[in-house]
Structure 1
């Protein structure tokens, strides 16, 4: 009978155990507890047995335990399934002042996959002694007028432990003046204070040294001490008094700077300066608290001055001092407890990894560019995150691969020439109220293929270069652009010498595109060089482009006039009398230059009788200025004629003419010598008829000029939107001689070397007219030049 009852009890207990185990497995969570500071190997619980797992299955089923971000404080012996302490646990370091402190573990087994949750509570032990913030606290108390029973708040000690281990009691070294105020169980938040037992007498004891001891409620007890220095003051009899000793307020975290938290008010029964009160934080308020809040010394308003973060500090304990402005100031104290209310202030986090860039512009659709994960420390709706890409229209999209894990893939065809790189912004947004979001940027460069040839800004460049340039002078720079990158955009230049050999005239720098004149250019021999410059990139295969360059040589005044003929053969012998205006002869000179530089003028520089002879300014005709009679005969005159051009600076030559005046009975002989600058004297040839030709040429050119002006204006109106020619170093200058304009004449050989077509020009007379209107510059380089050529 007894055996039967024993068997029933055993079965009943077994049923209860199985029921408890099934309930634990159904709930999916185990709960253990262990004291802090436990040594390595301390037994915590039989995890495998409590979860209903066989010890022999732990290794085959890949039994493992994962701690949720709290370190490796615990470990499981897979040989026996026992959970033990693996490393030192400091509850105060782990959980701070939180009443509940637990470590959450996940136990995972495979085949089949199951996840169990284990919670280990960390129990507090009395391992922290009470601690005062300073070794000494100083109080100033007025003598006599301070009534017995007056409270003087002190900063209490702090104990990092919890519960009874942090329950502090205070004891003051016995003395006849002060006693510590004992706090009851419902006054634990009341500030610590000492109470005056009888009035102080400064003359008897000016300073009191007291020892305050704080004892916690742990086993064994731990203590901390602080020295109290009481300075006894004369004067003031009424300290400021707050209407409350403790103020409690609530404040939303992330409150804006300047937000009013509370306005304190203290009263003082004194009058005058002793009644005026200044508010401040106590010296015992931590510095980082003072960085979050500020107090107005005049009004007592406490305002937000920094970031209020619930996750950092959820309760602020501020001790406030109200001090009057008496000669010996007195102060009152109060405590402001600010409770911070939590909000949805944790933004989602975005992590981008495994970035595969650059992406080829011919990448296939679906190519993976990067892996992206998002997370949020909040829970519930605040922790639910949705992801998107910005800006719209990107050729990429997000593909979900797992919860909160995505792949950034190519969704459209890429073109590097249209867009070199994309700035992709991944936006993660939670579902909280209000919703919070964050973003992370990613630059996706597109790699290049060589599909663009070098191109020039315009098909033809026109360059003006002054003659007599120094050898190797830089005259112009051509530049081709290639939208490709790297070696595909490296451009080199060379001259196309197939039509004409140009290596003796022009060279181009293969890298910079700078054009150099290899020898001085002579306008009298060469007017135009026209050639092609080719540009080639360094891609595989390489692509080419070309541009035509026209180099016009601009004339300079580098040739002096040359006297070529006189009307008589040698000497001029005249028979007097002569009438006024009688022409003795005509000097003819030529200038190898052109335009204004070849326009000549004649001056009578020196003569034996300055009143007898004159020379035509532009014709060179020498004639008498008055009537010569026989009384002035039988004399010889030397005339020095100066021939000057209109260049800047002008160049000149001289001609000497000997004139003999004889009477009618004498033979007439004339000796004329016309030396040119740098040459020996030569006989001059009569060219009297050249004036007629010159006048006819001038009239013809003037008529042609009017026609050219009309055509020019018409073409100018039609070509306003066309690009102006670009001029290099040595820009051509306008020739001007009067308010209306000028013309010049040159009889010489002209040569043109063209790289495309054309032959050397025949001998011609060049007529150039330039109106006296300031040249308009477009981009500082445009120049209008009108030319008309009349064949000789």
Structure 2
């Protein structure tokens, strides 16, 4: 088919699909496991799968499903790890099409992958240390590292426990974004002369069955005299950065102050994110709180980042804030024209509206940058019809005649489609 016959500009079409079937399956199923009787669920005879040379069409780099034509069933081709496939995104699903020929048809298939409790909550470090003055007042708060659990839903992290609780109590706060903020609160005055070092264990527990947990040791060294903790000017900062921003771009600056004097007023800033890519993409100047881009960001991969920041003084007191960074999309992806299926020969007595080619258009950008319109820019005996989101069918618009020009058009080896 002549690729110059298609031109893509900004407009998106919607229509009903030829058919759609959805399945749900847990992650980690063995290779060859049955997903569903796809022929039966589509209302098709198994013989149609064989005569129509049924196959799976997907734009993914890896195919996790396979189709058994002779049985008309969908099978697991590769063991699926939900966390590797979707990370924390829910629901997690595979989307693909079943293509048939003679006549050409396609059906949209969705397979939702559910989570099993195969990951325990994990702390990035096995041990963390604090230096706290014995003059720290009751109610002083100390930010603790959060655990991360790759599972989702009930299998995700559910609670924390701190033991022993002689001097410190655990305080959890539910942020607006649903994440738990973990703090250790002083509830009994410290006495360096009685106890110079305190050892605690922080345990993170998920809600799976059976439950899984992870631990981190907290070592507290009791010091002399520090009366005031650092305080951020804001509990939450916001910033935006374009996805094509170069390394070295200053994204934002956070600021904390400490009412103490001398070494106890000296503030050190740090990023406390764990088990994500934040510290590979952003760094903070530990003296002035300036956050700089150090990696390449892609809007199509991550649309925003949350950076957890801690301010510590030399006496061991801390405060925390978070920086929300929204990534701005730029038009850095051009539409791609993908031929799903095509016929190289058309009978001259073919009826009008006979499907000769099925086409899928993809643009990874969003909103205005990702809107696509397709049309034929040459006068031929075909018309382009939209069937559903970015899926099109090239059909005959009148009875074909066996003339040389038509024959040449169908037999051209190079495809003159264009996209913009």
Aligned-partner SS, 2:172: coil
Q: Which residue of 1 aligns with 2:296?
A: 307
- Whether 1:149 aligns to 2:136 is no
Deviations 1:512-549 (A, max 9, x none): xxxxxxxxxxxxxxxxxxxxxxxxxxxxxxxxxxxxxx
> How many Å apart are 1:246 and its aligned residue?
4.0
- Whether 1:161 aligns to 2:148 is no
Q: Which residue of 1 aligns with 2:58?
A: 67
Of residues 158, 165, 169, the one that matches 1:175 is: 165
Of residues 279, 295, 298, the one that matches 2:284 is: 295
> How many Å apart are 1:251 and its aligned residue?
3.5
| Matches for 1:139-538 after TM superposition, within 5 Å | 139-143=130-134, 145-184=135-174, 188-257=178-247, 259-275=249-265, 277-282=266-271, 289-290=278-279, 292-324=281-313, 328=315, 330-346=317-333, 377-378=364-365, 382=370, 405-406=415-416, 431=420
- Work out whether residues 279 and 295 of structure 1, in 8 Å CA contact, stay in contact via their aligned partners in 2: no
Aligned-partner SS, 1:182: strand
Aligned-partner SS, 1:59: helix
Aligned-partner SS, 1:164: helix
> How many Å apart are 1:115 and its aligned residue?
1.4
- Whether 1:120 aligns to 2:111 is yes
Q: Which residue of 1 aligns with 2:20?
A: 29
- Work out whether residues 130 and 316 of structure 2, in 8 Å CA contact, stay in contact via their aligned partners in 1: no
> How many Å apart are 1:193 and its aligned residue?
1.3
Of residues 78, 90, 97, the one that matches 2:88 is: 97
- Work out whether residues 131 and 316 of structure 2, in 8 Å CA contact, stay in contact via their aligned partners in 1: no
Give the TM-score normalised by the residue count of structure 1. 0.40
Deviations 1:29-62 (A, max 9, x none): 2111111112234332221122221122321222
Structure 2: distance between partners of 1:141 and 1:117: 60
> How many Å apart are 1:385 and its aligned residue?
10
- Work out whether residues 17 and 108 of structure 2, in 8 Å CA contact, stay in contact via their aligned partners in 1: no
Q: Which residue of 1 aligns with 2:122?
A: 131
- Work out whether residues 116 and 155 of structure 2, in 8 Å CA contact, stay in contact via their aligned partners in 1: yes
> How many Å apart are 1:89 and its aligned residue?
0.7
Structure 2: distance between partners of 1:245 and 1:403: 63
Pair 140,333 (structure 1): closer, same or farther in 2 beyond 3 Å: farther
Q: Which residue of 2 aligns with 1:613?
A: none
Pair 189,30 (structure 1): closer, same or farther in 2 beyond 3 Å: same
> How many Å apart are 1:349 and its aligned residue?
8.2
Structure 2: distance between partners of 1:139 and 1:255: 37
Structure 1: distance between partners of 2:307 and 2:183: 16
Structure 1: distance between partners of 2:258 and 2:326: 29
- Work out whether residues 91 and 122 of structure 1, in 8 Å CA contact, stay in contact via their aligned partners in 2: yes
Pair 273,81 (structure 1): closer, same or farther in 2 beyond 3 Å: same
Q: Which residue of 2 aligns with 1:108?
A: 99
Q: Which runs of 5+ in 1 are unaligned?
A: 1-24, 351-373, 387-398, 408-427, 432-792
Pair 83,209 (structure 1): closer, same or farther in 2 beyond 3 Å: same
- Work out whether residues 27 and 81 of structure 2, in 8 Å CA contact, stay in contact via their aligned partners in 1: yes
> How many Å apart are 1:321 and its aligned residue?
3.2
> How many Å apart are 1:269 and its aligned residue?
1.6
- Work out whether residues 133 and 284 of structure 1, in 8 Å CA contact, stay in contact via their aligned partners in 2: no
Give the TM-score normalised by the residue count of structure 2. 0.71
- Work out whether residues 32 and 75 of structure 2, in 8 Å CA contact, stay in contact via their aligned partners in 1: yes
Aligned-partner SS, 1:231: strand
Q: Which residue of 2 aligns with 1:440?
A: none
Structure 2: distance between partners of 1:177 and 1:47: 61
- Work out whether residues 143 and 318 of structure 2, in 8 Å CA contact, stay in contact via their aligned partners in 1: no
Structure 1: distance between partners of 2:280 and 2:81: 29
Structure 1: distance between partners of 2:247 and 2:412: 41
Structure 1: distance between partners of 2:217 and 2:102: 66
Pair 54,223 (structure 1): closer, same or farther in 2 beyond 3 Å: same
CA RMSD of aligned residues (A): 3.5
- Work out whether residues 42 and 84 of structure 1, in 8 Å CA contact, stay in contact via their aligned partners in 2: yes
Structure 2: distance between partners of 1:343 and 1:219: 44
Deviations 1:422-469 (A, max 9, x none): xxxxxx9x75xxxxxxxxxxxxxxxxxxxxxxxxxxxxxxxxxxxxxx
- Work out whether residues 262 and 301 of structure 1, in 8 Å CA contact, stay in contact via their aligned partners in 2: yes
Pair 188,116 (structure 1): closer, same or farther in 2 beyond 3 Å: closer
Deviations 1:273-305 (A, max 9, x none): 533x44422465679634533434444332434
Aligned-partner SS, 2:62: coil
Pair 212,273 (structure 1): closer, same or farther in 2 beyond 3 Å: closer
> How many Å apart are 1:135 and its aligned residue?
0.9
- Work out whether residues 239 and 330 of structure 1, in 8 Å CA contact, stay in contact via their aligned partners in 2: yes
- Work out whether residues 300 and 364 of structure 2, in 8 Å CA contact, stay in contact via their aligned partners in 1: no
Q: Which residue of 2 aligns with 1:465?
A: none
Deviations 1:193-238 (A, max 9, x none): 1111111112211111111111112222211111111121112221
Structure 1: distance between partners of 2:303 and 2:216: 28
User: Is the radius of gyration larger for structure 1 or structure 2?
Assistant: 1
Deviations 1:668-711 (A, max 9, x none): xxxxxxxxxxxxxxxxxxxxxxxxxxxxxxxxxxxxxxxxxxxx
Q: Which residue of 2 aligns with 1:81?
A: 72
Deviations 1:106-138 (A, max 9, x none): 211111111111111111121111111111111
Pair 401,160 (structure 1): closer, same or farther in 2 beyond 3 Å: farther
Structure 2: distance between partners of 1:285 and 1:403: 53
Pair 248,195 (structure 1): closer, same or farther in 2 beyond 3 Å: farther
Using CA pairs under 8 Å that are at least 6 residues apart, name the structure with larger relative contact order, 1 or 2: 2
